[in-house]
Amino acid sequence: MTRHFFGDTAVLTGRSLRHITRSLDTIITTTIMPIAFMLLFVYVFGGAINSGAKSYVDYLLPGILLITIASGISYTAFRLFLDMQSGIFERFQSMPIARSSVLWAHVLTSLVANLISVVVVVLVALVMGFRSAAGLPAWLAVAGILILFTFTLTWIAIIPGLAAKSVDGASAFSYPLIFLPFISSAFVPTATMPGPVRAFAEHQPVTLIVNAIRSLFTEQPAGTGIWGALAWCVGILVVAYTFAMYTFRRKIS
């Protein structure tokens, strides 16, 4: 049964990835906005922001990476919605394949597409002057956090992809997720914010994730922050996965 699931998922993931390669504009689109934000904040606002870092792009990049992923997962909901509307799900259900492999194919496709976007953004940041003395273990830890974050947001995206009534509804959910890093430590230290905003910023998951990645890049002790970031991601992932599978079962029943 397990081999059946993995085989079906691999085949369907290949199908989704072929769709991506035929429309590379989706990956290009998801990288343009984060890169534009990075250029704007570094070259326009960066001189007026006291982040405490030697280079503002070094301070900024972790938040930009999260925005890149948040903007990319909207296309997961979009592609899933189109599959639902085209009737391809009904065709798959009439075939002897593992039912959940359809969803996992979209999740893995989202992971690949978003990792490509993240790599592109990091390359642009390097051109803009980003530097990190972090070793391979730290970079692998950053990659692990970003992969977990991508899985978490993707399973959130699955829910509107299955339940939305329109294309706009399927992708609109990502807007609050893109906005959330702006009320965190992603762009400015939370200490500069007024009381209520600071309280929210310091206790929301994006700040913990950004601070953990920033500490890894700068080879600073991450302390308990990295465990808090992982706990937030895993907790949200479990809830999102549960609701996504519940919605999926209702749709195909």
Write down the pTM of the prediction: 0.89
**pLDDT-derived band of residue 176, with 50, 70 and 90 as boundaries?**
confident
Nearest to 59 by CA among 50, 51, 68, 67: 51
* Mean pLDDT across 167-195: 84
- Sequence-separated (6 or more) residues with CB below 8 Å from residue 189: 51, 52
Among 38-42, 67-71, 108-112, 223-227, the minimum mean pLDDT is found in 223-227
Amino acid at 103: L
Residue 166: predicted pLDDT: 79
Helix 101-127 vs helix 2-22: angle between axes, to the nearest 10 degrees? 50
Please tell me the distance from the alpha carbon of residue 124 to that of residue 11, in angstroms, as a whole number: 33
Residue 4: predicted pLDDT: 64
Nearest to 159 by CA among 105, 103, 114, 87: 103
Q: What is the pLDDT of residues 216-240, one digit of tens each?
A: 998 887 667 788 889 999 999 999 9
Residue 121: predicted pLDDT: 94
Q: What is the pLDDT of residues 80-135, one digit of tens each?
A: 887 777 666 666 666 656 667 778 888 888 898 899 899 999 999 999 999 988 88
Contact present, 248 and 162 (Cβ < 8 Å): yes
Helices and strands, counts by H and E, the chain: 12, 0
Contact present, 110 and 76 (Cβ < 8 Å): yes
